[in-house]
Amino acid sequence: MATERELSDFLKGVEKRAFKRSIYHVRDEEAALDIVQDSMMKLAEHYGDKPPAELPMLFQRILSNCTLDWFRRQKTRNALFSNMSDFESSTEDGDFDLLETYAVVEGSQQVESAEDSTRRAQILRQIESEIQELPARQREAFLMRYWEDMDVAETAAAMGCSEGSVKTHCSRAVQALSKALKAKGIQL
Amino acid sequence: MTTNTPLTQPHPLQDRFGRQVAARLSAGASELPYDVTERLRAARVQALAKRKVVSLRTAGAVQASGGAATLSFGDEGLSLWSRIGSAIPLVALVLGLVLIHTVQNELRASEVAEVDAALLTDDLPPSAYADPGFAQFLKSGGE
């Protein structure tokens, strides 16, 4: 059984990635925060007594379900309203990233020059936008497999599909990303 | 691009590319703005508090079932304490009986021992009491 400390450390370790992943899916910072918060609550409430080794898988599953729930709720709303809010949130996202870059340059007195930092942030933004462009299943498989460092079997279990599908999704995602980034002249 | 390699085969280059992208994303995720990290922290604290509530609720359920048990005894007119209270006289009675039995045994033993001692220390031999003539002698002597 995971202690409160273990649960806290686990959530601390995954919360930022979970937030970013949710943003890639829903493209709305507020919604992403809500989804992450819901997922954390559900994990703590229903699975807080599970062993620490089971928490990552459970959390990925809950996060995926919460994201799906959000999309279902969005679907029930007015389509026009939904599109407008998408437009607004994507604009906010752009401003948000600029502020983020500015804050990083201001805050960290490191050896990295402002130019390097800005270029790095630009590359990150382009990678993120390409990830957002991926089909949802491919994006999910790719992020779980490489960012969450889950193996094929775990990703398949979390996504509720076969291992072959996970490999196919990952492979297609990698091909699409590498093609898109190469077209933009980005070398990793 | 999709022509040479089957999609389901593991590909080291593909994995390397995936991990490089992931490393970039991790670097980006570690530089989230303060308000977002604070909101995430608040959400985490809230979730942990929810976990506490769960554990408390479990304890409450146990307590509640204990309370129900007490109530059901109450319906029969006996709570746990009154059951214990009602058992005390019974225990006292049993202890008293055991004590009386022991004391009586000892008294009887000491009486028999006194009679034996009197018989053995008397001048008259014990075998005389078994003689019918002696009994007759005692009767006539008493008269």
Please name the residue of chain A whose CA is at the shortest distance from the CA of residue B2: A175
Residues near A12 by beta carbon (within 8 Å), at least 6 away in sequence: B44
Tokens of A49: 């007594």
User: Would you list the domain boundaries of chain B?
Assistant: 10-77, 82-143
Residues near B26 by beta carbon (within 8 Å), at least 6 away in sequence: A17, A147
Model pTM score: 0.57
pLDDT in tens, B19-70: 888 888 888 888 888 888 899 999 999 888 887 555 555 544 445 444 444 4
Q: What is the DSSP string of A72-108?
A: HHHHHS-HHHHHHHHHHHHHHHHHHHHHHHHHHHHH-
CB pairs under 8 A between A and B: 130
The lowest-confidence range among A11-25, A73-87, A112-126 is A73-87
pLDDT in tens, A69-111: 888 888 777 555 655 555 554 444 444 444 444 444 444 445 5
pLDDT score recorded for residue A50:
84
Look at residue B60 and give its three-state secondary structure.
helix
The architecture in CATH of the region A134-188 reads: Orthogonal Bundle (1.10)
CA distance readout (Å), A111 to A115, A117, A187: 11, 10, 22
| CB nearest to A8's CB, from B7, B34, B44 | B44
User: Would you list the domain boundaries of chain A?
Assistant: 1-76, 78-130, 134-188
CA distance A171 to B7: 6
- Average pLDDT score, chain B: 78
pLDDT score recorded for residue A35:
93
Question: With contacts defined as CB-CB under 8 Å, which chain A residues touch B20?
Answer: 188
pLDDT score recorded for residue A160:
86
CA distance B39 to A28: 15
pLDDT in tens, A27-80: 888 999 999 999 999 998 888 888 888 888 889 889 988 988 888 888 777 555
Residue A167 to residue B8, Cβ atoms within 8 A: yes
Residue B43 to residue A37, Cβ atoms within 8 A: yes
The lowest-confidence range among A59-68, B7-16, B38-47, B101-110 is B7-16
pLDDT score recorded for residue A123:
86
Residues near A166 by beta carbon (within 8 Å), at least 6 away in sequence: A141, A145, A152, A155, A156, A159
CA distance B12 to chain A (A): 11
Please indicate whether residue B120 or residue A84 has the higher confidence score (pLDDT).
Answer: B120
**pLDDT surpassing 60 at residue A149:** yes
CA distance A26 to chain B (A): 16
**Quick check: B29 and A16 in contact, CB under 8 A?**
yes
pLDDT score recorded for residue A148:
87
**pLDDT surpassing 80 at residue B77:** no
Please name which of A13, A30, A43 lies closest in space to residue B48, comparing C-alpha atoms.
A43
